[in-house]
Chain A
């Protein structure tokens, strides 16, 4: 149900763009106003969310330790999985953010005859996740050519590497294929794995369908419908230089692509996609395990009622004396 609603919502968005541009001729709205608004929502929303999280205190030092602690000098500490200093934390965060270290540990538990529970390595989710995020990044970098007048050599290099297979014309980008395959994998596993299907919400399907729509419209544009690239660059450069122009004859598919991207940007700060910012703030990962060495301060630590030794001795003085346990007051 939630998958269907999400799919229908993305279809509706596509139709909206087609109707708006082709039917009503609102190229200015879809080409300029909405992208600007979406970007503004994204930037303000993203920052607001980070600030909101950042203002909540971290009262306790609660890293999830995944290796040997710093202890006696002859016991080898795992400085990355159980960091006691900033450098270790940075290394841990680097591996987490760039290589999804924790997900790499993934196992699959199965109940087998015997009976026994057996565990097998399960790297599919890790691989697909990594492929999805990295290709998304590379595709974003490639798109810089639309927003910088003289294409930077680095971007050109990325493009050449990405198309080194030299297939077709225009040249096929490897990342396009991998990206679509990864999105499809992430989507299909939501239907195919019973537990994952059971926990999935519309908020899980919608971004996948949306991103799939962005990917498909982009691929259609580049390889099949061949839009007017010069015109597109005029529009995007206009956006980038705050001097918007709306060239004629860009093709509806371009506006569909742009509109879906705008929706993704505007949706981003209100969604689970904020995990991208949130992972940096995760207290189980970004803190060092040094709370026996340095006192961690809780800003809202407050005095509490306690049962003092004096009260305790008052309760048990005679019994303590009879048992030969020393007391403060005879």
Chain B
């Protein structure tokens, strides 16, 4: 393992001016710290994916099947017939360059192949060579090139340096979405077993055990019980949440990251406390114990196979509707894919909040409501007793997750909640939030340990905007509604702007939530003393 780069080393390495040599003549260099380990045979075998073997991306030999080139080209032909987005985005780019400096990986690395347009050209060049007449005739002059092993390695390297965040597609005059191209690129790479273990491992665990972390049912329960003990220590209230309960009204699904590590666990405690306080007739499921979907970073088919469990479990338990926790790509999948894959959810009812009576018309097809929609509605109807001053030690800014912003548009709900649960909230600059939000740098399954240089380079743009509000307003807490954010931004904040913590919105909700029969709270969920009431400490 190479030594990880220091912040000033990354800054000094950035040069936005491309090299003199044309990109087609620059062979790919698989740099340590910039890639993730190759998928293991074990993980691919569980999912039944092709060419399962142990391999090392830094070795010369990737152990590919003899006819790998045909496999890729057939895979490309097949997908060109199935996805209009793919076909169209191969054809209509005019290379205006508007997307170039919109990518967090380009901004943080200066690598020209991280410009969205060039990332796509890596594939377009092959598409032209094999699927278009001008490309066949003109060759290199027509922007076409042969598919060889170096090109394949270049694809692998750069399609696993894209977090499918879609920021470029906001600025593209034709809406060309690099995520679509990366998704297709990864599909083709997966035909050759060229996934990364950080994706294939969680995906196979999710397939067999119901969640990415591979938590078995009894472990899920015991993890939650640990949190319940902590909740009791803080609030004096003992909670007994139901698991796999038939006849519950609502199935609750959240990313498993919330069950496992700080600060996600505090968000999870927030859910538990909120549902308890409401007296909600709901259930957790150990089978559908994953909201996220690392299959989505593998292939359409894998994604669908993992997503299947949510509706299947809702049906088995006989719930009326489904409530989903805070997660980014989970909600892109639930919003744009789930019903198409595994619907129609005609065995469920149109979601209706049992507390406020609000009918969630915007989810009447999928029957799945986002917890921020649910909680915003509760607050709007005055159903929660909140004491925002308990969060007075926090100066908060809010990070829109790529997927919830650009693949859904849930922008105001979390902001409404935050304004009601804390007194100090400052937005980052306009060009870095909402639809123009920056990726944490570690999305789409790239939040491993071995690619830390890549993640910190990719995280620079987001952190840079956080540091602006840190210096200007003294922001010390970065709120978000995404499990990968909670893990990835914690690392990136420590790296780029020490002193800024990371929290899920529902952790702050729970800290502000005045519960029936609670003891006077002395600490927040993290066990830190609450800010002094009304005194000087109250900003």
Q: Report A's interface with B, CB cutoff 8 A.
A: 2, 5, 49, 52-54, 56-62, 64-72, 74-76, 78, 81-82, 84, 96, 100, 102-103, 105-109, 111, 115-117, 119, 125, 129, 193-204, 270-272, 274-275, 278-279, 281-285, 289-298, 300-301, 304-309, 312-313, 315-316, 319-320, 322-326
- Residue B1 is within 8 A (CB to CB) of chain A in the complex: no
B374 CB, nearest partner CB in chain A, Å: 10
Apart from A49-B91, A293-B362: 18 A-B pairs, beta carbons within 8 A:
A53-B88, A56-B88, A66-B409, A102-B175, A111-B16, A117-B464, A195-B101, A198-B18, A198-B22, A204-B94, A291-B339, A292-B334, A293-B364, A294-B365, A309-B316, A319-B217, A324-B221, A325-B244
Task: Give CA–CA (A17, B202) in the complex, Å.
Answer: 64
Instruction: Give the chain B neighbours of A49 by CB distance below 8 A.
Output: 91
Place the interface of chain B in its size category: 35 or more
Instruction: Decide: A115 near B380, CB < 8 A? Known: A56-B80, A293-B361, A325-B218.
Output: no
Instruction: Give the chain A neighbours of B246 by CB distance below 8 A.
Output: 326
B364–A69 CB distance below 8 A: no
Scoring A284, A300, A313 by chain B CB atoms within 10 A of each residue's CB, the highest score goes to A284
Contact of A319 among B82, B218, B368, B408 (CB under 8 A): B218
B363–A293 CB distance below 8 A: yes
A295–B343 CB distance below 8 A: yes
Instruction: Decide: A56 near B82, CB < 8 A? Known: A72-B376, A202-B142.
Output: yes
A198–B416 CB distance below 8 A: no
Task: Give CA–CA (A284, B89) in the complex, Å.
Answer: 11
Task: Give CA–CA (A146, B222) in the complex, Å.
Answer: 82
B328 CB, nearest partner CB in chain A, Å: 13
B362–A308 CB distance below 8 A: no
A290 CB, nearest partner CB in chain B, Å: 8
A199–B95 CB distance below 8 A: yes
Q: Report B's interface with A, CB cutoff 8 A.
A: 11, 14, 16-18, 22-23, 48, 80-85, 87-88, 91-98, 100-102, 107, 112, 115, 117-118, 121, 133-134, 138, 141-143, 166, 169-177, 180, 207-210, 216-218, 221-222, 243-246, 286-287, 300-301, 304-305, 308-309, 312-313, 316, 334-337, 339-341, 343-344, 358, 360-366, 368, 373, 376-377, 380, 405-413, 416, 429, 431-432, 434-436, 460-461, 464, 467-468
A5 CB, nearest partner CB in chain B, Å: 6
A133 CB, nearest partner CB in chain B, Å: 10
A119–B429 CB distance below 8 A: yes
Contact of A67 among B94, B308, B435 (CB under 8 A): B435
B413–A71 CB distance below 8 A: yes
Scoring B88, B207, B468 by chain A CB atoms within 10 A of each residue's CB, the highest score goes to B88
Task: Give CA–CA (A259, B360) in the complex, Å.
Answer: 61
Contact of A325 among B91, B96, B138, B286 (CB under 8 A): B286
A308–B312 CB distance below 8 A: yes
Instruction: Give the chain B neighbours of A275 by CB distance below 8 A.
Output: 92-94, 173-174
A292–B368 CB distance below 8 A: yes
Contact of A281 among B88, B245, B287 (CB under 8 A): B88
B221–A323 CB distance below 8 A: yes
Residue of A at shortest CB range from B346? A295
A-B contact count (CB 8 A): 316
Instruction: Give the chain A neighbours of B209 by CB distance below 8 A.
Output: 312, 315
A297–B366 CB distance below 8 A: no
A196–B373 CB distance below 8 A: no
Instruction: Give the chain A neighbours of B380 by CB distance below 8 A.
Output: 72, 74
B84–A66 CB distance below 8 A: no
* Interface SS majority for chain B: helix
Instruction: Give the chain B neighbours of A82 by CB distance below 8 A.
Output: 409
B86 CB, nearest partner CB in chain A, Å: 8
Task: Give CA–CA (A106, B97) in the complex, Å.
Answer: 10
B305–A65 CB distance below 8 A: no
A297–B340 CB distance below 8 A: yes
Task: Give CA–CA (A103, B174) in the complex, Å.
Answer: 9
Instruction: Give the chain A neighbours of B210 by CB distance below 8 A.
Output: 312
Please provide the 4 A-B residue pairs with the shortest distance between their CB atoms, ordered closest to farther: A69-B409, A278-B92, A323-B218, A284-B175
Task: Give CA–CA (A272, B91) in the complex, Å.
Answer: 7
A116–B143 CB distance below 8 A: no
20 pairs from A and B in contact (CB 8 Å cutoff): A5-B141, A56-B82, A56-B87, A64-B177, A65-B409, A69-B362, A71-B413, A74-B380, A102-B170, A102-B172, A103-B98, A107-B436, A125-B98, A199-B95, A272-B92, A282-B175, A293-B364, A298-B341, A306-B309, A309-B309
Instruction: Decide: A304 near B308, CB < 8 A? Known: A68-B409, A117-B107, A309-B316.
Output: yes
Scoring B245, B335, B416 by chain A CB atoms within 10 A of each residue's CB, the highest score goes to B335
Instruction: Give the chain A neighbours of B364 by CB distance below 8 A.
Output: 292-293
A307–B98 CB distance below 8 A: no
B419 CB, nearest partner CB in chain A, Å: 13
B87 CB, nearest partner CB in chain A, Å: 5
A105–B171 CB distance below 8 A: yes
Instruction: Give the chain B neighbours of A326 by CB distance below 8 A.
Output: 243-246
B361–A202 CB distance below 8 A: no
Scoring B94, B221, B304 by chain A CB atoms within 10 A of each residue's CB, the highest score goes to B94
A72–B175 CB distance below 8 A: no
B495 CB, nearest partner CB in chain A, Å: 14
Task: Give CA–CA (A307, B312) in the complex, Å.
Answer: 10
Instruction: Give the chain A neighbours of B300 by CB distance below 8 A.
Output: 59
